[in-house]
Structure 1
Amino acid sequence: MDERQRGILRKSRSIFTRDLVDVDTVCDRLYQKEVLSEGMKNEILSENTRENKVRKLMDIIPKRGKRAFRAFFDVLEETFQHNLSDILCPGGQMDDLETKYNALHGFQSKRATDKPLLQRSMSAEVRREPVESISEFQEQHKTCEFPLECKDFQKLAIVEEDFVLPSNWPSEQEHAQSLNFKICKSRSSPASLREEWSRMYPMTRRPLGRLVIINNFQFDGEVDDERMKRSQQDTTSLDVLFKQLHFQTKQHSNLTLEGLSSLLEEERTRDHTSIDCYVMVFMSRGDGERIYGIDGYRIDIDTIISTFDFEHCSSLRRKPKIFIFQACDDVAAKSKLLGAEKKNYEILTSSTTSEHMRTDMFVVNAVQDVAVSYHGIFGSRFIQSFVYLMRNLAFNEDFEEIVRKINHLNSVSEPEIIKFASSFSRRLFFNP
């Protein structure tokens, strides 16, 4: 690995620490590519937090020779973490970049201005402040030689056959594709819908929307390993899905109630005028009506929704807002959390919020927390069902129809796993 590549990893360390997800899979693939030894992989995965695992990985990668940088780039591409692979190589053309770099390497000190345009963009990148999403990165690199439409990370599969719900789900194939998938995109919107565009939410901006995921799995200082791996699998699947839908994505893990309330206030006051849609996902313990922070204190789901209503979040007015809650009754957790029941933190007084303030909202609640596995951890049945249906139908059916299919998809094994409520004033498609 040359000094230029080490510099990129060093300067972008904070971005990787913040945004790299599914470290286990990344390490497994680097091990398969013989970049990491078994001992190195175990050393990384023995760290107690995701952030520490990433920091350890970023310490080791620069020491692993010439192949390590390219292998790391390939693994990020394979796991659909294109916001990070694009930092290593803007445009995703690693071979072209290395050829140009090697050809000019001996003349850089005298002819810096003669560097290829893409290479100058990369040189500027290592001095930039951390970016939050691939869309923000693209916006700040409009001079890139490679047009955005040529980038591999946005290539979508084309399907012409009608999608049919499987009678037995999930199959081993669906399990294998839970992380590596491309959403199916129809060639055009159905002709019958073109006449109804006035009754559909506009969904044309880039970035199209914002996804925020809260994943709590460490309570009272204890980690349920199976629950953690399952929720991390769900988080990664959601991240892969929504990045392909041109969403900015942001993940938060193990928030106390104070941390959760601070996050909600930050998101509420954020300027969302440049996006068309907002999605927030909660995965935590709960009792059906409340979400628990990792310190055992709770917040009403009703309060969370009110935070983004017509009155309190003006930049999301008349835009579709989706709230997904994977926080079902947890009897074992309740017995431990009873001492914290007396504190019920509220950001807003939701009881005074009139119903007309909550237009353009869609709320999905898991009725029960059902794990689904295939040769190990696969995720929750609810989230994996949602991702499976979205990646097959997001470009062809409106959002409510997709959500309705979740219970039907699982009807053989579980009679009902979700309930939902909608105050959408229009139909929501992801490709009008």
Structure 2
Amino acid sequence: MTDARPLRPRSPNLHSFRGLHFILFFSTIFAIVTCSMMSGYLNWNQIGHHLWILSSHIYNGSQQARDSFAMKVMSSGMFNTSNKRTAAAMQHQLACKIFRKLSSLPFTINSSEPPFSKMSSWVNALKQPRLDKAMGANQDDHRTCAVVSSAGALLGSNLGSEIDTHDYVMRFNSAPTAGFEKDVGRKTSIRLMNSQILAKKSFNFTKSSLYKNIPLLVWDPAPQSLDLKQWFHHPDFDFFPTFLRRRQRQPNQYLYLIHPAFYWGLWDILRENLNEELPRNPPSSGFIGLMLMLWLCDEVEAYEFLPSVRFTDLCHYHQNLWMRECSTGAYHPLLLEKRILRLLSISTPNDVYNGRAAIMVFEACHGQSVKHDTNRQVPIDGLHSTLFPLFTSSRYFVCTRIRKDQESSSLVTQKSTCRMRPLMLG
């Protein structure tokens, strides 16, 4: 049965003229390019890079809802102000907002949490030193960290030697270095993995050298609605037996289990920065790891997290798999993650263009909401250190050093303060 309603003539509409669309589009691009060149903000290579990425999003096959969503998210990626000082203040405000949110969340599963606390094997498996100690770091180290994505755009980057200059290098899932050293480096200090790496035999978790002799972090994309007991019995991937066996057979290797509340807290942060409904899919391994390193490190550089001149549909540099969704996100909210990282980036456009983005660390927010308790004093390297618990949780501390003045023999407060670190106990 057909619709009997008469067809109404389409009223004249400027948007119906495609020629005008193209004129307006290219006029806008020309104006942006001209202003950028006059201000010295971009060079011709960078202009071509940005135009190519923009056109690849606009004219990429079918006009699906996700493509429109992608353009909307990425176009709103910068602060709405031309004042550099105001933008810096807004950037600091965003970083500290994330800091306050994450400071209230558990990071790893604790041996005192049920159902793990009721099983002696799991109590022993989850008792480990905090993560920074497992990485061999000292409290007063100035830690430079590289967080290396697995993006296909790393191929041909020649960033390997630069990546290896960092004190610590984080990699993800099954991303190798052998055969790709020129582009991704050789060093691996810590690896963060999805639970399927442990659950699927194809990844060869028990024997592969990728997963040996370094601290490992594991997370499982459990639904937000599950409590820990439900999650333990119904994980997304059946990885718990493999996790426990590794801890029992290799007790000297640190293997941490990320708390679901942590990555769903990250999801809340992403949702709060979008005025739309966000599907309840967890963040990516890369975003989880990067947020962690912003806690642990004094300088963080993210490699190929934001689109560079080598932007490609190749999903991973070590696999021959081509999908646009690996960049825009079919399951993980990748575009929102990129938006947050773009807002937190303190790099020049040229650095991002070349594949690296320095991200504002949380150390700038460490003085906020500190609760003082001067009752605890411990000696450190001949000095006295007073520990101040933060957010009523013993997981965090900051210390003010007190040294003995050689002339007056009196104790004086040292101006520099020890860096606050999360105490992520198993």
Asked if Structure 1 and Structure 2 have the same fold, meaning a TM-score greater than 0.5 normalized by the shorter chain, the answer is: no
Higher relative contact order (CA 8 A, sep 6+): 2
Structure with the bigger percentage of helix: 1
Structure 2 length as normaliser, TM-score? 0.27
Structure with max Cα Rg: 2
